[in-house]
Amino acid sequence: MAQIKPTGKLLVNEPIAKYTSWRVGGKVDRLYIPDDVSDLCSFLSTLDREEKVYFIGLGSNILVRDGGVRGTVILVHNALDTIRLESGLIYAEAGVTCAKLAKFSAKCAKQGAEFMAGIPGTVGGALAMNAGCYGGETWGIVEKVLTVDKDGNIHERKNSEYVASYRHIDMPSPDEWFIAAWFRLDDGNSLESEKKIKELLAKRLHSQPLNLPNAGSTFRNPEGDHAARLIEACGLKGYKIGGAQVSEKHANFIVNLGDATANDIEEIIGVMKAEVKTKFGVDLLQEVRVIGDKNE
């Protein structure tokens, strides 16, 4: 059978900063924006098996180093963006924002996904890290998922094939990426769900530094405590390195004041970890994933 030629957009030696929520990072060898799921599969089938592949949505929860990425980055936001009501389930592809999933579910009079409005990323990222907030977690509402492997083959997998824990998901195969999911939600009332979403968004606006580039929470909350409390107790609110700063509004956020580098942010992450370890004996675990090379 003849191989179908990919039709998406391939960018070579592309600066990544504009695709990440921190607005930092060097150049990536290749950035691919697929037309749809089928095109993504076609593209993956053309890659060498040893090629390093990274998927990003809104580029939140990720720090791309200043030296850039050797490999291929696949951008799913505005690419894998189908969302629909299907047999009583909400089907959403990996590039759909979590906020859109929450609002679409509410319009369909489905309740249980309202908390997703507070997650600053896409469905793919939320699945990959079991993202959550305001008492809800992504895998608590997942019925089944679609994944794609390095050869471009699609797999439909049940929730029961995964082990979900706090901000973590154990994958049945390390070489698969989430491309869609079906969410099982309860029947509800659109107006009530929309009201709850507005309240959660207002709460987020009040408590988080949404006016400056950031990547969401830097660290997971330790059991029985909050990373923000520990960091603030170390006197680090407002602490700066270069153009990066520990937010004065929320100590578990690092913001880009305008001219931060990825190295500035990574150094601050190191200071936060070290200070909390020294003062409280607590090892903070990063939510933020760091990829790429440091500048030589």
Q: Express each pLDDT in 257-279 by its tens digit.
A: 999 999 999 999 999 999 999 99
Residue 296 belongs to a domain: no
Which among 75, 92, 122 is the end of a domain?
A: 75
Tens of pLDDT, residues 126-177: 999 999 988 899 999 999 999 999 999 999 999 999 999 989 999 888 889 9
Nearest to 288 by CA among 95, 123, 131, 115: 131
DSSP one-letter string for 167-188: TEEE-S-TTEEEEEEEE--EE-
**CATH assignment of the domain containing 262:** 3.90.78.10
Residue after which a domain boundary falls, among 207, 238, 258 = 207
Residues 114 and 202 in one domain: yes
Q: Average pLDDT over the chain, rounded to whole?
A: 95
Helix, strand, coil percentages, rounded to 5, for the chain: 30, 30, 40
Report the pLDDT averaged over residues 252-259: 98
Provide the percentage of residues in the chain whose pLDDT is more than 70.
Answer: 99
Which one-letter amino acid corresponds to residue 12? V
Residue 55 belongs to some domain of the structure: yes
pLDDT 10s digits, 97-133: 999 999 999 999 999 999 999 999 999 999 999 999 8
The residue segments making up the domain with residue 99 are 83-207
Q: What is the pLDDT of residues 32-47, one digit of tens each?
A: 999 999 999 999 999 9
Q: Vertex 58, ends 271 and 21: CA angle to 5°?
A: 40
Mean pLDDT of 188-206: 95
Give the catalytic positions in this structure.
167, 217, 287
State how many domains the chain has: 3
Same domain, 201 and 218: no
pLDDT in tens, 40-74: 999 999 999 899 999 999 999 999 999 999 999 99
Which CATH number goes with the domain that contains 16? 3.30.43.10
Residue 246 has pLDDT above 50, yes or no: yes
Q: What is the mean pLDDT of residues 213-240?
A: 97
Q: Is 149 left (phi over 0), alpha (psi -120 to 50) or beta?
A: beta
Residues 69 and 154 both lie in one domain: no
